[in-house]
Amino acid sequence: MEFSWPWEYDFPPFFTLQPNLDTLRKQLEAWRKLVLDYCRHNKIFVLDVQESISLFQNKAIDRQLSTEGINRVLESLLEYNQIEWCDKAKKQCLVYWKNPQEWGNLIYRYASDKGMTNTVCTFYELTAGDDVQNEEFAGMDQSLLVKALKTLEATNKAEIIMFGGNEGVKFF
Amino acid sequence: MRKRPGIGAIHKQRVEQERFRGKATELQDNVFEQMTNQMEKFRTNLETFASKHRNEIKKNPAFRKQFQDMCASIGVDPLASSKGFWSELLGVGDFYYEIAVQVIEVCLATSPRNGGLITLGELRQRLIKARGKAQHHQEISNDDIIRAIKKLKVLGPGFSIVSLKGTQDTSDILIRSIPGELSADHTEVLKAAEAQSFTSVKALKSTLNWDDVRCLQILNELLRDGVAWVDEQSPEKMYWFPSFFKPLMSEDEIVLPPPN
């Protein structure tokens, strides 16, 4: 199904940082939502800022968000805990269209539904195995998976294990 | 010697005057009574008419408007209260009350985008979409919406009706759901921007014959009100108005709760 762009995307001023503070607030909120919705739709767990330039421009109306604008949007996403930088250079970020806790809960539900508690399963199985293909967390970036599992560890629902060079997790 | 009027004559005159005044009052009373009777007859006929044509009034917006105008001409307001003869007879009071509530909901939902300024056309589209199947055979017209909003205005300063062309032609009416009057200058700029949903200082100067300062001031006020956004990626700064922006109107997102 094709991604449905919000009305703002076709609105030229959307690509100019608004001088009026209230309007700017609405604008940033709309950009945050666009980024999250877009990533959710396309199963993007990690956003590369350079590569995602097309998200911040609309060729059809010949408008694009300036570098400053893009930075403002990213700052706003960070402020709302909707992204987390992967590197100090701020080239890539994890996009939390679900946050680690939500992912943890989803994965745990999957594991208990499949009767996988008290057995060990590898990270690979969880993200790339045949069984998980229809799950939302299929193809999940490993660093995000670890964060998700760590939230489960905090509530004693799982334990991350290293065995024989493989990383895995045991659910309780 | 000329004869002066005697006391008898004066007295006679006075009696005649009294009689005339009495007659005048009697006439007045007569006329008044006749008028009252006429009104009563008129009112009774109107009520009979209303009950006979109740369904038509409910279903047909044009017919409903004519009925309203008829009522107004004899000083009867079917919408005056949600209880009482008229609303029970027609359920009209509830009808407009419901519309008013839904108008408020649509305005609240869209005001983050358009700064609390919505065209009557878009408002009607959203109302119709939101009113759902149960009410689809109660078609609502622009006139119905305006009446409902006028009722709202009685409740407080929140709602105002802005006519861009100074006529009652409903194609150029905006509903403002944020307190504060739009000045005549603001309205002129909105008028100028309506067709393309944007304008610029240059365009305003040529259309309205204003100087730079005035154009900029009004545009900045509209920016400040959240009614306009600025686009700086064109040769000249363009000021856009979400209220007139067509793609915004086809958004399906806004859903109103079903009526009770």
- Please answer whether residues B258 and B132 qualify as being in contact, where contact means their C-beta atoms are separated by less than 8 angstroms: yes
For A19, the closest of B230, B233, B245 (CB atoms) is B230
Count of other CB atoms within 10 angstroms of residue A4: 10
- On average, the pLDDT of chain A sits at 92
Residue among A44, B237, A99 at smallest CA distance from A55: A44
Q: Which residues of B touch A7 (CB under 8 A)?
A: 113, 245, 247-248, 251
**C-alpha to C-alpha distance for B259 and B256, rounded to whole angstroms:** 9
For B240, the closest of A13, A20, A62 (CB atoms) is A13
**Amino acid at the residue A37:** D
**Single pTM value for the model:** 0.74
Q: Is the ipTM reported for this complex over the cut 0.90?
A: no
**C-alpha to C-alpha distance for A54 and A5, rounded to whole angstroms:** 13
Q: Which residues of B touch A27 (CB under 8 A)?
A: 229
Helix (H) or strand (E) holding B13: helix B7-52
Task: Please give, one letter per residue, the 3-state secondary structure of chain A.
Answer: CCCCCCHHHHCHHHHCCCCCHHHHHHHHHHHHHHHHHHHHHCCCCEEECCHHHHHHEEHHHCEECCHHHHHHHHHHHHHCCCEEECCCCCCEEEECCCCHHHHHHHHHHHHHHCCCECCEEEHHHHHHCHHHCCCCCCCCCHHHHHHHHHHHHHCCCEEEEEECCEEEEEEC
Would the CATH topology of B91-180 be identical to that of B182-248?
yes
User: Considering only A91-95, B172-176, B226-230, which range has the smallest mean pLDDT?
Assistant: B172-176
**Interface test with chain B among A5, A7, A27, by most B beta carbons within 10 Å:** A7
- The confidence score (pLDDT) of residue B236 equals 94
For B231, the closest of A16, A22, A64 (CB atoms) is A16
Say if domain B182-248 classifies as CATH 1.10.10.10.
Answer: yes
Question: Tokens representing B10?
Answer: 């004066």
- Give mean pLDDT, residues B37-59: 74
Question: Tokens representing A58?
Answer: 């609309």
Q: Does the pLDDT at position B74 exceed 70?
A: no
CA distance B158 to chain A (A): 20
- The confidence score (pLDDT) of residue B79 equals 56
For A22, the closest of B226, B232, B247 (CB atoms) is B226
Residue listed under structure tokens 């609240």 = B108
What percent of chain A clears pLDDT 70, i.e. is strictly above it? 100
For B230, the closest of A10, A16, A63 (CB atoms) is A16
The contacts of residue B8 (CB under 8 Å, 6+ apart) are: none
Higher-confidence residue of B113 and B246: namely B113
User: Considering only A1-15, A70-84, B48-62, B105-119, which range has the smallest mean pLDDT?
Assistant: B48-62
Domain spans in chain B, listed from the N-terminal domain onward: 17-78, 91-180, 182-248
Q: How would you classify the pairing of strands B160-163 and B198-199?
A: unpaired
**C-alpha to C-alpha distance for A76 and B11, rounded to whole angstroms:** 99
Higher-confidence residue of B164 and B73: namely B164
Q: Which residues of B touch A26 (CB under 8 A)?
A: 112-113, 226
- The confidence score (pLDDT) of residue B256 equals 47
CA distance B251 to chain A (A): 7
User: With a CB-CB cutoff of 8 Å, which residues 177-206 of chain B face chain A?
Assistant: 198
Q: Which residues of B touch A64 (CB under 8 A)?
A: 233
User: With a CB-CB cutoff of 8 Å, which residues 101-130 of chain B face chain A?
Assistant: 112-113
Q: Does the pLDDT at position B151 exceed 60?
A: yes
User: With a CB-CB cutoff of 8 Å, which residues 214-243 of chain B face chain A?
Assistant: 223-224, 226, 229-234, 238, 240, 242
Say if domain B91-180 classifies as CATH 3.40.50.2300.
Answer: no
Residue listed under structure tokens 């609309």 = A58
CA distance A41 to chain B (A): 17
Q: Does the pLDDT at position B143 exceed 80?
A: yes
**Interface test with chain A among B113, B231, B245, by most A beta carbons within 10 Å:** B231
Residue among A92, A58, A153, A134 at smallest CA distance from B231: A58
Top mean-pLDDT range of B67-71, B102-106, B197-201, B246-250: B197-201
